[in-house]
Structure formats: C-alpha cells, structure tokens
Amino acid sequence: MARSSYLFTSESVSEGHPDKVCDRISDAILDLFLSKDPVARVACETLTTTNRIVLAGEVRCAGAIKDDEIEAAARRAVRDIGYEQDGFHWETADVQNYLHEQSVDIAQGVDEGSGSFADEGAGDQGIMFGFACDETPELMPAPITYSHQILKEMARQRKSGERPEFEPDAKSQVTLRYENGRPVGVTSVVVSTQHKDGVSLDDVRELVRPVVKSVLPEGWFPPEDEFYVNPTGKFVIGGPDGDAGLTGRKIIVDTYGGAAPHGGGAFSGKDPTKVDRSAAYVARYLAKNVVAAGLARKCTIQLSYAIGVSKPLSVYVDTHGTGDVDEAKLENRLRELVDLSPRGIRTHLGLNRPIYERTSAYGHFGRTPTEDGGFSWEKTDLVDALKSLA
C-alpha cells in the first residue's frame, strides 16, 4: 500500500554547477551540428576543470564544421553562463577537442535497422521513462519544480545586475510534506550559492530569502531553523575551478527529482537518434497528455528499445491507482496516436532542430514550448484524442 503521509525531497543545480557547465557545452555543440545538418549524429562529452575544457565523442555531419567553430561554441556557452573568474574564464580557458567520426558499426545499425526491421533502428538498447502528475500547473512534481525555480530566479537576478553578489555555481534542495498523497507544505529549504568575496554569510542568507519566498506558495516558507543557506560557510571558489565537471552526471535533476524512475541514460550532447534522449522526451509527452486529459492524476510510462530495431519492444503505463481507464487500453491507444519508432518520435516532436542548449539547466521537463520547436514534448495536443477513453 502506498504511503499517504511522508516527506519528499528533490534538488536542483544551477547552470554554473560544474556538471551543468558540461551539459551546456555538449548541447551547444550538438546545436551547432544540427544547424548545419538536421540529421547530424552527435555524441559529445565534456570535461571541465580549472581553466580547461576537454571535448570527446563521435560525430557525423554533412556540412563542414571547423575546429574553431566548435571551440567558439564552447566558449560562448561558458560566457553566457557568466564565468569570468581567474580559475575559469570563457576567454582564457584551454579548449581541447577530441571529437572524431562516428563508428561505422554503430552507424549501420541506426541507418539500416537490423534483421527484418527495415526502418531506421534505435541508436542503442535501453529503457526510458516519462512521468507527469497534477501537483503543479506544469504537471511536474512540486519539489523539483520549486528547486529549479529558486535557482532560475537567482540566475536571473545575477545576470540582470540586480544581485551582483551571486556567482554562477549554486545548488538548491526543497523538502515537502505530503498528506493523503498531496503536497501541503515545505519543511526545509537548502540553498548553497557561490558569492563574491567579501559578502558575509548573513548577507547571502538575506539575499536568498526573498527569492525562496517568491517561489514558494504563500505560507509555505519553512521554519527559520530549517532554512539553510551556505551551511558549510564561505563559498567563493566554485564552478569547474572548485570541482571538476562532466556531462551527464545530473540526470535526476534533469528529469523528475527522484519522484519517478529514470532509465539511466543521460540526455545532453546526444542527437535525437539516441533514444536515451528522444524516447525519454516522448514518454514525458505521453504521460503529460494522459494527466492533462484527466485520465489520471499521476502517470508513469516506460518504453524499451534494442539497438538497430525500430519498434519499441514494450510500452508500459502505470497510473498508480489514480486513473479511471484500463491501462492496457491506454497503452494501445498511445501507440495508435504516436509512431514510437526513433524516426516517428523525431518527426512527431520535430526534434531534428538546434533546440537543445536551452534544455541543459533547470530541467528538461515542465518547460514552456517555444515557437521554434523547443520543448515540443511539453505540448498537450493529444488531450482531445485521449478523452474519448474516459
């Protein structure tokens, strides 16, 4: 039996966190390739440390992309985040590029499929999950939503000059109390933020306080002794200078904050033939439409694939006892509405576009679709077709 009363916590990290710097660079390079060739293949990994950026992975592109264009994309990403520090500066960091041509063994499975599957195959085997719930207007779990919003607002204030005391590296954590399975209040908030040298810990606390209050619902601010700001003390040295970063190390931050399963595959730096990314996006799309249609208050969807095989090996729907529709019928209906082959997913969601750099911080889900096709997996255009199942 599911518990009805409990505490649940999620964390987020800012765009200046070392791992998120790497995600941003990897996705900036992905967008560069897709801007030249919509069917480019990219698997770009990034390592950052003190004044150093290292790129590695596999690429394939019909258009010519010079090394200096790749380096420029990496530097621009770091500049936009806001790193101009002695230990990590967008202009002076050493950039090493070890990207190389995609393996022909991998390419043949993706290009041609395998066995009797003539359509384009999946770029890898694996399981992917999508989730939605009615806790927030974004149909996302509340703890991760508030954690993202705190850091996003701090970044906005830093970049606008409203709060120049803030530096790019930061983390947040929000714990909510649930009663009868619904969030009813916040029991604690943790924010650790890099700051300018000379700013006192008391000042940092009071700069963070109004940000948290602006994000949380009225009356949900935690007790004073459960409001933690920089609990370890001074935080001046941060970002890749303070701790090395790697692409793909914040996958729970990227998705649902631990409130739902994660298949294990990271997203950033991967073109949409990689089902780690595209199938996770379509699984979220389907789950969100199920909840938006009023068929369930909570929905988890699992998809599975084999490398070189176009069709999903399984489609699983779980409405956690909150739905009024037979889940097997829902599985069949979703497969009718969306072609869940890798090519079908990319076509339906319009994924062969340079829309990925913007996903690299503050979550891939719960965002607003944009006119140029960004966050297309957040649309709820299947609602009318699904309501007929009610």
* Residue 387 falls in the annotated catalytic set: no
* Residue 45 falls in the annotated catalytic set: yes
DSSP per residue, 72-137: HHHHHHHHHHT-EETTEETTTSEEEEEEEEPPHHHHHHHHH-STT--SPPBSS-EEEEEEEESSST
Q: Which position among 244, 320, 343, 379 bears the catalytic label?
A: 244
Q: Which position among 45, 138, 167, 241 bears the catalytic label?
A: 45
For 11, phi and psi rounded to 5 degrees? -125, 160
* Residue 385 falls in the annotated catalytic set: no
Taking the C-alpha atoms of residue 33 and residue 38, their distance in angstroms, rounded to an integer, is 8
* Residue 276 falls in the annotated catalytic set: yes
* Residue 328 falls in the annotated catalytic set: no
* Residue 171 falls in the annotated catalytic set: yes
Q: Which position among 235, 267, 365, 375 bears the catalytic label?
A: 235
Q: Which position among 41, 60, 152, 270 bears the catalytic label?
A: 270
* Residue 235 falls in the annotated catalytic set: yes
* Residue 227 falls in the annotated catalytic set: no
Taking the C-alpha atoms of residue 274 and residue 325, their distance in angstroms, rounded to an integer, is 31
Taking the C-alpha atoms of residue 245 and residue 248, their distance in angstroms, rounded to an integer, is 9
Token pair for 107: 């390419």
Q: Which position among 17, 148, 163, 333 bears the catalytic label?
A: 17
* Residue 250 falls in the annotated catalytic set: yes
Could you tell me which residues come within 8 angstroms of residue 102 by beta carbon, excluding any fewer than 6 positions away?
41, 43, 58, 59, 60
* Residue 244 falls in the annotated catalytic set: yes
Q: Which position among 249, 320, 343, 353 bears the catalytic label?
A: 249
* Residue 148 falls in the annotated catalytic set: no
Q: Which position among 58, 119, 153, 339 bears the catalytic label?
A: 58
Q: Is 9 exposed, middle or buried (0-12, 13-18, 19+ CB in 10 A)?
A: middle
Q: Which position among 60, 75, 195, 274 bears the catalytic label?
A: 274
* Residue 159 falls in the annotated catalytic set: no
Distances (CA, A) of 75 to 93, 171, 265, 362, 363: 8, 23, 26, 21, 22
Dihedral (Cα; 73, 74, 76, 80), 10-degree rounding = 130
* Residue 20 falls in the annotated catalytic set: yes
Handedness of CA 19, 24, 25, 30 (dihedral sign): positive
Q: Which sequence positions are flagged as catalytic? A: 17, 19-20, 45, 58, 171, 235, 243-244, 249-250, 270, 274, 276
